[in-house]
Amino acid sequence: MDFHRVQMKHIYHNCWIIQARVMWKAHVKENGMGNLYLQCILLDRHGSKMEAIAFNSQAIRFNNVLETGRTNDFNRVGFNPTEMPDGHFWYLAMDFVTTLSSTTEVTMSAQQITSTICPPCFPQFGEIFELRDTTITDVVAILAYVGQIEFKWDSIYRRRVPSLEIGLMNFQQQIIFLRVREEHVGPHFWHLQCTANLFEKFAVTYIQVNQRQRCLQTMRESTFFFSSNINDDHHYLQDIHEASLMTLDETRAYVNRVVQGRNNGRQKYHS
């Protein structure tokens, strides 16, 4: 079964077979009721994602079995609605979660699922702003701004690490800022600058919400998609100056005002 086909009629039956790649795996944790649990994010062959969860002894078992980046065949899995309270929060804003039970069998798949699949759909900006802190999401928009590379001291690794902030704009002229981690700065900086100068479409997956800073931030697992790699099905992402009836110069001026306002707000906060 593919994740985008899961409906209410499929839940509570631990009989489904799925093929998925383990894109991300959390540490085993304990919820408020004293139960151990393990959460993972799985990717199917269509680019759809779903969270998977295992409890207690099965959390230990699947923590030892599942490896990030590996494609597996999951036999006898179930699905539950995410609205059921069970003492922890979800990393994905989804309607369903995959349940891994004692009857679930996992084998390495003969066919590998690539991690660079562009998702079939993306949330609206308004939905992203409403997500809980540290929720993992995707975003597709027009790359409107690329800041300067900054080097900050990392007290854990005791070295200076590069970081970068970029601005993404939708057709309502909303701008959401994304902080790019060090492992993505070097490989993508030149391409980001070129894309921003042309206000082209851009997508990035597996990013976390940072509500305290009111921005998004990349993870090690984040994947970047530039204009040439985004499927034409995302036809609503035309050039921003065509969609908003603004010229490129007007768009740049608007983006600069938003960025300046954000920077001024930071200076007031730190002063």
pLDDT, tens digit only, all 271 positions of the chain: 889 888 888 887 888 999 999 999 999 999 888 889 999 999 999 889 999 999 999 999 999 999 999 999 999 999 988 886 666 688 998 889 999 999 999 999 999 998 788 887 888 888 898 898 999 999 988 899 999 999 888 887 788 889 999 999 988 888 999 999 999 999 999 999 888 887 888 899 999 999 988 899 999 989 999 876 665 554 444 444 445 556 778 888 888 899 888 888 765 544 4
**pLDDT number for residue 241:** 44
DSSP letter (8 states) at residue 159: E
In a domain, 117, yes or no: no
Q: Is 219 exposed, middle or buried (0-12, 13-18, 19+ CB in 10 A)?
A: middle
Q: 172 lies in which domain range?
A: 125-270
* Residues 143 and 92 reside in one and the same domain: no
Q: Tell me which of 56, 79, 108 is where a domain ends.
A: 108
**pLDDT number for residue 230:** 66
**pLDDT number for residue 246:** 66
**pLDDT number for residue 239:** 44
* Residues 18 and 148 reside in one and the same domain: no
* Residues 96 and 170 reside in one and the same domain: no
* Residues 29 and 103 reside in one and the same domain: yes
CATH number at residue 184: 2.40.50.140
In a domain, 131, yes or no: yes
Q: What token pair was written down for 19?
A: 């093929």
**pLDDT number for residue 234:** 45
In a domain, 120, yes or no: no
In a domain, 151, yes or no: yes
User: pTM value?
Assistant: 0.81
Q: What token pair was written down for 171?
A: 């057709």
**pLDDT number for residue 50:** 94
Bridge partners of 136, per DSSP, are 208
* Residues 195 and 257 reside in one and the same domain: yes
* Residues 94 and 11 reside in one and the same domain: yes
* Residues 140 and 259 reside in one and the same domain: yes
* Residues 34 and 147 reside in one and the same domain: no
* Residues 8 and 92 reside in one and the same domain: yes
Provide the number of structural domains found in the chain. Answer: 2
* Residues 143 and 264 reside in one and the same domain: yes
Q: What are phi and psi of 176, to 5 degrees?
A: -120, 135
**pLDDT number for residue 232:** 53
**pLDDT number for residue 19:** 96
* Residues 176 and 91 reside in one and the same domain: no
* Residues 149 and 53 reside in one and the same domain: no
**pLDDT number for residue 73:** 96
In a domain, 59, yes or no: yes
**pLDDT number for residue 37:** 93
